Homo-oligomer: A and B are copies of this chain.
Amino acid sequence: MLDERQLRGWLRQVRTGRRSIASVVRALHTPSASLGFARLDLHRRLRRGLPEVVFCEGKTPEQIIQIAKRLVAHREVVLLTRLSDAAAGQVVSAIPSLRYEPVARMAYWHPGRRISRRGLVLVTSAGTADLPVAEEAVLTLELFGSRAQRLYDVGVAGLHRILGEMPLLQRARAIVVVAGMEGALASVVAGLVRCPVVAVPTSVGYGANFAGIGPLLTMLNACAPGVGVVNIDNGFGAGYLAHVINLGGRS
Contacts and interface: CB of A to CB of B under 8 A. Distances in A.
Contacts of A21: 8, 11-12, 15
A205 to B, nearest CB: 6
A30 B165 contact: yes
A232 B208 CA distance: 6
A209 B237 CA distance: 14
Nearest to A129: B58
A221 B206 contact: yes
A241 B215 CA distance: 19
A24 B211 CA distance: 44
Given A166-B1, A207-B233, A32 B158 contact: yes
The copy count of this chain in the complex is 8
Contacts of A155: 223
A145 interface: no
A77 to B, nearest CB: 14
Interface in A121-161: 126-130, 152-161
5 A-B pairs with the lowest CB-CB distances in the bound complex, closest first: A228-B228, A207-B232, A58-B129, A184-B184, A194-B249
